[in-house]
Amino acid sequence: RKEVEQDPGPFNVPEGATVAFNCTYSNSASQSFFWYRQDCRKEPKLLMSVYSSGNEDGRFTAQLNRASQYISLLIRDSKLSDSATYLCVVNMNSGTYKYIFGTGTRLKVLA
Amino acid sequence: EAQVTQNPRYLITVTGKKLTVTCSQNMNHEYMSWYRQDPGLGLRQIYYSMNVEVTDKGDVPEGYKVSRKEKRNFPLILESPSPNQTSLYFCASRPAGNNSPLHFGNGTRLTVT
């Protein structure tokens, strides 16, 4: 089983739709969690950190469920510019702190 | 502007010809690391450094070397590149604090023929 798993998609949604992605992680020692956005072959850019109580940044909401070991990202009112790959990143303490990346979920917002 | 800078952006080379990809950050970050990204595999860590003169292997270190003589620089060295090292490479850094997010450089696309 992969340490961090994401549905690769693609998710094709119309503009204005609400879309949600999940990411599961296998190691309960995971300490911190992030969502990154990556445009085609460019560097990943931090979208948001994910906090235990859940957090929101404009149209984006992130949730953490430690009991079930998953994090989620909700995007409301999708824009064409939201089209990208969304990477789930988990930082775990396995002796040293290590960032584990999901393979990403591809989102395409259609006009 | 706070940033991680990699050079070159694109590099085409031949098998066995030594090369270095540079990475520099201006944020006084202690932690730096190198990743490669291949289709379907996500980002995999090559090497990382917790501080000056402290480096350690990641998940895929074979065929790579690094050094950390100064805090701001963390070059990636391929002594004898092979075609299976054709990939997209990213350097990243983060401040002290194990739960901080990574900041990425803009990537180096390497092709080894």
Answer whether B40 touches A (CB < 8 Å).
yes
DSSP letters spanning chain A: --SEEE----EEEETT--EEEEEEE--TTEEEEEEEEE-TTS--EEEEEE-TT-EEETTEEEEEETTTTEEEEEE-S--GGG-EEEEEEEEEESSSEEEEE---EEEEEE-
**Which neighbouring-strand residues pair with A17?**
none
Name the least confident of A29-33, A59-63, B9-13, B96-100.
Answer: B96-100
Interface test with B, best of A25, A35, A39, A43 (most B CBs within 10 A): A43
Q: What is the pLDDT of residues B50-85, one digit of tens each?
A: 999 999 999 999 999 999 999 999 999 999 999 999
Spatial distance between the Cα atoms of A75 and A86, rounded to a whole number of angstroms: 11
B-chain CB neighbours of A101 within 8 Å are 35, 42-44
Structure tokens belonging to residue B14: 């031949």
Q: Using pLDDT thresholds of 50, 70 and 90, give the confidence band for residue A94.
A: low
Report residue A95's pLDDT band, with 50, 70 and 90 as the boundaries: low
Chain B interface includes A87 (CB < 8 A): yes
Identify the residue with better confidence: A51 or A47.
Answer: A47
The pLDDT assigned to B14 comes to: 96
Percentage of chain B lying above the pLDDT 70 cut: 100
**Which chain A residues are within 8 Å of B107, Cβ to Cβ?**
41-43
SS3 content of chain B, % helix, strand, coil (to 5): 5, 50, 45
Percent of chain A with pLDDT over 90: 79
Interface of A with B in 25-44 (CB under 8 A): 31-32, 34, 41-44
Tokens of A72: 């989620």
A42 and B106 within 8 Å at the Cβ level: the answer is yes
